């Protein structure tokens, strides 16, 4: 298994615990590949950080993603091309209803 990867059984338990405490919360976010590609192409990006927010115009929760440098600092500077990406789409509006992480009660092979 890859570094930082977890198996389906553990992922389902984490999702179950989150949903128990947040029954009306966002289940997941669809993150466009172009956003991640643009973040990867920014100079000095070593990691990513995601912030939670709420877009009052769209009336939906959003995930805002920024690049992070090797010292753990957010890279936010539009003049240098370091942008905040907010193109995520929350589930339940963009769910994969066939996913075992969406259907926690479904028995799946691990």
The pLDDT of residue 109 is above 70: no
Q: Give the SS3 label for residue 99.
A: coil
Please check whether residue 59 is in contact with residue 78, taking contact to mean a CB–CB distance below 8 angstroms.
Answer: no
**What is the model's pTM?**
0.78
Residue 79: predicted pLDDT: 93
pLDDT in tens, 51-80: 999 889 888 888 999 999 999 999 999 999
What are 32's strand-pairing partners? Answer: none
Domain ranges for the chain, please list them: 26-91
């Amino acid at each position: 298994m890859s570094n930082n990867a977890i198996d389906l059984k553990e992922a389902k338990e984490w999702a179950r615990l989150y949903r128990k405490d947040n029954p009306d919360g966002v289940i997941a976010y669809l993150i466009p590949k172009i956003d991640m590609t643009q973040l990867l192409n920014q100079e000095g990006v070593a990691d990513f950080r995601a912030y939670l927010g709420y877009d009052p115009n769209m009336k939906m929760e959003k995930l805002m993603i920024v690049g992070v440098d090797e010292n753990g600092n957010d890279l936010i500077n539009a003049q240098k091309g370091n942008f905040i990406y907010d193109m995520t789409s929350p589930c339940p509006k963009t769910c994969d209803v066939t996913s075992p992480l969406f259907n926690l009660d479904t028995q799946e092979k691990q």
